[in-house]
Amino acid sequence: MISSVVDRESKNKTRDDIQRKTEEFLSRGGEIKQHNRGETGEPADKPRAKSVFVSSQPRQTRTYINDVVSALDNRKKKKAKPVAKKVSKTPKVAKKVIYDDFGEAVREVWTSDKK
């Protein structure tokens, strides 16, 4: 049986794992350097690389869909007219039960409903 639930580590377990790895790194002689706010790791003598989301291609024009949405809305409004029910020329016949004042059935009568 395949489970659809993905087992993920809890945040506390991830934090503990990072803390353990950091202590292990420091115990093996590793060093953590502190940097001031705003400092960068990029070399100052080279130009900065472009961000991943910046492209050299010209910006594409956007397609506005307001017209498309309004056309769809108009099409919904212009649905086919409902087909009128054919009225039967023969009257509908139904059995009706006549009750007395105490709620007991007295007789049955056949009625024709003309609408």
Mean pLDDT computed over 89-112: 87
Share of the chain above pLDDT 90, in %: 24
Mean pLDDT computed over 45-54: 74
Q: Choose among 74, 78, 75, 115: nearest CA to 93.
A: 115
pLDDT for the residue numbered 112: 80
Banded pLDDT at 41 (limits 50, 70, 90):
confident
- Residue 105's DSSP bridge partners are 99
* CA-CA-CA-CA dihedral for 9, 10, 14, 20, to nearest 10: -100
- Residue 71's DSSP bridge partners are none
The residue ranges of every structural domain in the chain are 11-112
CA–CA gap between residue 5 and residue 52 (Å, rounded): 33
Beta-sheet strands, E only, within 15-115: 92-99, 105-113
Mean pLDDT computed over 5-20: 87
